[in-house]
Amino acid sequence: MSLLELAGAPAEVIQSVEAKASPEPDEAVCYVWEENWQSFQFYLMVQSQWVIVTGLTNSVRVKLDYAGIGSAMWMDGIHRRDRKALFSDLRLIESAVLEYDGEKKR
């Protein structure tokens, strides 16, 4: 039961709110588990570090610039003991993004 139902809101109000709250079918929704939140936040911070190769007709993401990632870890004050695990998570995210890019081109 929703909070609106508990508050006694009319059915048309509940339907209107639910329609506005639901994502459009083409909108991407990404749920992040709590234990992955720091890694996801770090990816958002360094997502400008992509190495991009530009050809005559298009540009393609190739990889993240690991030197830039290391600098970002240092500048963000990430403890040395936490860097290996964070970098491993970041490489998983990098792989997923590159896989997604490849699927979009098909």
Q: Output the pLDDT for position 7.
A: 82
Q: How far apart (Å, rounded) are the C-alpha atoms in residues 11 and 95? A: 45
Q: How far apart (Å, rounded) are the C-alpha atoms in residues 14 and 58? A: 46
Q: How far apart (Å, rounded) are the C-alpha atoms in residues 39 and 46? A: 11
Q: Give me the tens of pLDDT residue by residue for the chain, a chain 106 residues long.
A: 667 787 888 888 888 877 777 666 656 677 889 999 999 999 999 999 999 999 888 889 999 999 999 999 999 999 999 999 999 999 999 999 999 988 877 6
- The residue type at 12: E
Q: What is the pTM of this model?
A: 0.68
Q: Output the pLDDT for position 46.
A: 95
Identify the DSSP state of 34. G
